[in-house]
Amino acid sequence: MNPSETFLNFNNGVLAVPNCTKEFSGLPWMPHPAFEGVELKHIVTAQDTNGLFSYHLVRIAPNKSILNHIHEKQLETHEVIGGSGTCINSGTNIPYEPGTLSIMPAGIEHEVTAGADGLYLFAKFFPALS
């Protein structure tokens, strides 16, 4: 996988809010609990926001997938920041390439598959994933 410059900037970025700075480079990559070849970096968590929202970097290995699933309570957004792939969002196939933004309201089936170069996403959840 060849990460994009934008992805690397987020991977080594910083959360800067009054009275708090959090460097992302020190946060670990965690394997997704259900999907092989998918890793998450939890950059803003439910604990940080009293459950209001969470932000996550997602890297999907070449030709791997986040299989079809639903978040019953969360609206989810994806900002594609590197690589390529596809998302099936409520039955519609959406090409994923840098600059694509996709929104999945709560209760909507969706899945994401990386292309041959892998896929890098900035995923946001409202309310937060716990």
Q: What is the CATH number of the domain that holds 52?
A: 2.60.120.10
The string of pLDDT tens digits covering residues 68-117 is 999 999 999 999 999 999 999 999 999 999 999 999 999 999 999 999 99
**Confidence band for 5, pLDDT divided at 50, 70 and 90:** confident
Residue 61: give the domain boundaries.
Answer: 5-126
Q: Count Cβ atoms below 10 Å from residue 77 Cβ, excluding itself.
A: 16
Give the number of domains in the chain. 1
Q: Where are the beta strands (DSSP E) in 20-109?
A: 20-23, 30-31, 38-44, 54-60, 65-69, 75-89, 92-96, 101-104
**pLDDT for the residue 4:** 82
- Answer yes or no: are the C-beta atoms of 23 and 16 closer than 8 Å: no
**pLDDT for the residue 130:** 78
For the entire predicted model, the pTM comes to 0.93
Using DSSP's 3-state secondary structure scheme, residue 103 falls into strand
Q: Is beta strand 30-31 parallel, antiparallel or unpaired with respect to 92-96?
A: unpaired
The string of pLDDT tens digits covering residues 7-37 is 889 899 998 888 888 899 999 999 999 999 9
**Confidence band for 118, pLDDT divided at 50, 70 and 90:** very high
